[in-house]
Chains A and B, each alone.
Chain A
Amino acid sequence: EVQLVESGGGLIQPGGSLRLSCAASGFTVSSNYMSWVRQAPGKGLEWVSVIYSGGSTYYADSVKGRFTISRDNSKNTLYLQMNSLRAEDTAVYYCARLGIAGQLVVWGQGTLVTVSS
């Protein structure tokens, strides 16, 4: 069964760092396009980052320079390293596998990140 399970969320102070993990099963992360999408409480979806199978990465302007997307092929896991966190980064973070046309085909259940003092 194709599945994504996020972990690593929690309460963190402004300026702090956090690393989110997304463990995949049923497919190979390194052979697919993978993304992170977030959703602030009561708000809409916001695309955060993508990593292509070839290793290229792209980021939303709101997180560029602060967040880094990566993967560990041996663990079949996607990561999102988040530094210099701000209150506005508070959200549920979803990882997702993309289809050929860039559609978000498989989603994880999400992990909540709360940035607050």
Chain B
Amino acid sequence: QSALTQPASVSGSPGQSITISCTGTSSDVGGYNYVSWYQQHPGKAPKLMIYDVSNRPSGVSNRFSGSKSGNTASLTISGLQAEDEADYYCSSYTSSSRVFGGGTKLTVL
């Protein structure tokens, strides 16, 4: 149950787009289309932003999008806004359990 690999930090200016990668193996990210992404603001519970690789729950801005290629999933945030500054975590299904990435801190400059 090794953690998925995410960059520790990314940054961007308001209005720009950023992409956060999430690398796993064929036993998790590459083996299933069950990748999800969570946003967490300081002191708050995580919030689901993307599920099944690229689906957005109701109420989540269409500025958030997800994709996957091989063993790497990606979260793209377009039109960056100040309120997007948060920690982002990917997660994948893997043989009856789940695994998270180490998290990426997004800074909006």
B89 neighbours in A (Cβ, 8 Å): 44-45
A44-B3, A47-B91, A101-B51 known; A108-B98 Cβ under 8 A: no
Give complex CA distance A102, B99 in Å.
11
Q: Give every chain B residue within 8 A of A35 (Cβ-Cβ).
A: 98
In contact, A104 and B52 (Cβ under 8 angstroms):
no
Contacting pair A107 B45 (CB below 8 A): yes
The secondary structure that dominates the B interface is strand
Asked whether, in the complex, the Cβ of B38 is within 8 Å of the Cβ of A45, the reply is yes
In the assembled complex, how far is the CB of residue A36 from the closest CB belonging to chain B, in whole angstroms? 11
A50 within 8 A of B: yes
Interface size classification for chain B: 20 to 34
Which chain A residues in 52-111 approach chain B with CB under 8 Å? 58-61, 94, 99, 101-105, 107-110
What B residues does A94 contact at CB under 8 A? 45-46
A residues in contact with B100, CB < 8 Å: 37, 44-47
Given contacts A44-B89, A45-B38, contact A104 B103 (CB under 8 A): no
Evaluate contact between A58 and B3: CB separation under 8 angstroms. Answer: no
B1 near A61: Cβ-Cβ < 8 Å: yes
Specify which chain A residues have a CB less than 8 angstroms from the CB of B38 in the assembled complex.
45, 104
Q: Which residue of chain A has the shortest Cβ distance to B52 in the bound complex?
A: A101
Which of A45, A50, A107 has the largest number of chain B CB atoms within 10 A? A45
Q: Which residues of B contact A58 (CB under 8 A)?
A: 96-97
Tell yes or no: B47 within 8 A of A by CB.
yes
Min CB–CB distance B66 → chain A (angstroms): 11
CB neighbours of A37 from chain B (8 A): 46, 100
Say if the beta carbon of B7 comes within 8 Å of chain A.
Answer: no
A99 touches B51 (CB 8 A): yes
Q: Are B36's CB and A104's CB within 8 A?
A: yes
Hey, which chain B residues are within 8 Å of A99, CB to CB? 51
The residues of B with any CB-CB pair to A shorter than 8 Å are 1, 3, 34, 36, 38, 40, 45-48, 51-52, 57, 87, 89, 91, 93, 96-103
6 additional A-B residue pairs with CB within 8 Å, beyond A47-B1, A107-B46: A45-B91, A94-B46, A99-B51, A102-B36, A104-B36, A105-B57
